[in-house]
């Protein structure tokens, strides 16, 4: 597999059953992926995880544990999240096949990618979903659209493997895109400035803050663009003093 799979970060959030962690590790390794991040797993390490991982215990042994999603994805330039949750503010949505093609192109340009999976009984919250650039939806029978965690990871990992064999990427950017941490800092700076100039009422922000987050994650600014925007916002603050 020619794809740099170390740049693909599979993130499991608040996983309840340790066996599911092992099953995801097995699904990943079968499709050539190896980098696993765990955010507040209920039980880990676990003999049950090891048993269900089969010969993928090396994925478990190298897994990293985090206390927040933001820490787990901070170095990623692109962040995807799996979702079946209805949202009042819509987010860019892709099916697994289209997302895999994008992911292979991004990794082919030496960009780190994170793919976030929520816990078994409720998935990801809206606030957690807003950390992603795009959402991935796996089409399923509308009468029973239920996939367990390992099934979801297997499908997306398979689509990445399939897409990697046909991927031919041409990079057009002259500066690298900001990573997740830099993007969140820019969003926070923008919102703070908007509040300072009374464009946003902090006591009644309605849905505008979610729309601002969506705008910046969709635009995916590069480091030069983000630097200019941060300087522009700082200039506004200086004028207010």
Answer yes or no: is pLDDT of 87 > 60. no
Report the mean per-residue pLDDT for the chain: 92
For every residue of the chain, DSSP letters joined together read --S-GGGEEEEEES---HHHHHHHHHHHHHTT---EEEES-SS-S-HHHHHHHGGGHHHHHT-EEESSHHHHHTT-SEEEEE-----SS---EEEHHHHHHHHHHHHHTT--EEEEE-BTTTB--HHHHTT-SEEEE----TTS----HHHHHHHHHHHHHHHHTT-------SSPBP-HHHHHHHHHHHHHHHHHTTSS-TT--TTHHHHHHHHHHHH--BHHHHHHHHHHHHHHHHHH-
pLDDT at 168: 52
pLDDT at 146 over 60: yes
Q: Which pLDDT score is estimated for 165? A: 83
| pLDDT over 70 percentage in the chain | 95
Q: What is the pLDDT of residues 170-229, one digit of tens each?
A: 567 788 999 999 999 999 999 999 999 999 998 888 899 999 999 999 999 999 999 999
Residue 89 predicted with pLDDT over 80:
no
- Say what the pLDDT of residue 169 is: 52
pLDDT tens track for 90-137 = 788 999 999 999 999 999 999 999 999 999 988 899 899 999 999 999
pLDDT at 173: 77
pLDDT at 195: 94
Domains of the chain: 5-164 (3.40.1280.10), 180-240 (1.10.8.590)
CA dist 55 and 118 (Å) reads 24
Residue 240: its pLDDT value, please? 83
Q: How far apart are CA 17 and CA 21, in angstroms?
A: 7
pTM, full prediction: 0.82
Q: Would you state the pLDDT for residue 142?
A: 82
Per-residue confidence (pLDDT) for residue 157, from 0 to 100 = 97
């Amino acid at each position: 597999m020619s794809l740099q799979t170390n740049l693909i970060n599979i993130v499991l959030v608040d996983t309840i059953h340790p066996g599911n962690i092992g099953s995801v590790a097995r699904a990943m390794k079968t499709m050539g992926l190896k980098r696993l991040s765990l955010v507040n797993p209920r039980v880990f390490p676990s003999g049950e995880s090891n048993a269900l991982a089969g010969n993928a215990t090396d994925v478990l042994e190298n897994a990293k544990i985090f206390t927040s999603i933001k820490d787990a994805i901070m170095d990623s330039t692109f962040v995807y999240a799996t979702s079946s949750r209805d949202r009042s503010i819509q987010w860019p949505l892709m099916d697994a096949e289209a997302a895999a093609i994008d992911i292979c192109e991004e990794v082919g340009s030496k960009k780190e990618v994170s793919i976030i999976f929520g816990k078994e009984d409720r998935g990801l919250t809206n606030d957690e979903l807003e950390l992603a650039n795009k959402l991935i939806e796996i089409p399923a029978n509308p009468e029973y659209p239920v996939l367990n965690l390992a099934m979801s990871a297997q499908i997306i990992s398979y689509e990445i493997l399939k897409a990697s064999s046909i991927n031919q990427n041409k990079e057009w950017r002259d500066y690298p895109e900001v990573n997740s941490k830099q993007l969140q800092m820019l969003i926070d700076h923008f919102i703070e400035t908007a509040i300072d100039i009374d464009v946003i009422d902090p006591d009644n922000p309605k849905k505008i803050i979610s729309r601002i987050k969506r705008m910046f994650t969709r635009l995916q600014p590069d480091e030069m663009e983000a630097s200019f925007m941060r300087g522009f916002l700082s200039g506004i603050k200086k004028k207010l003093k």
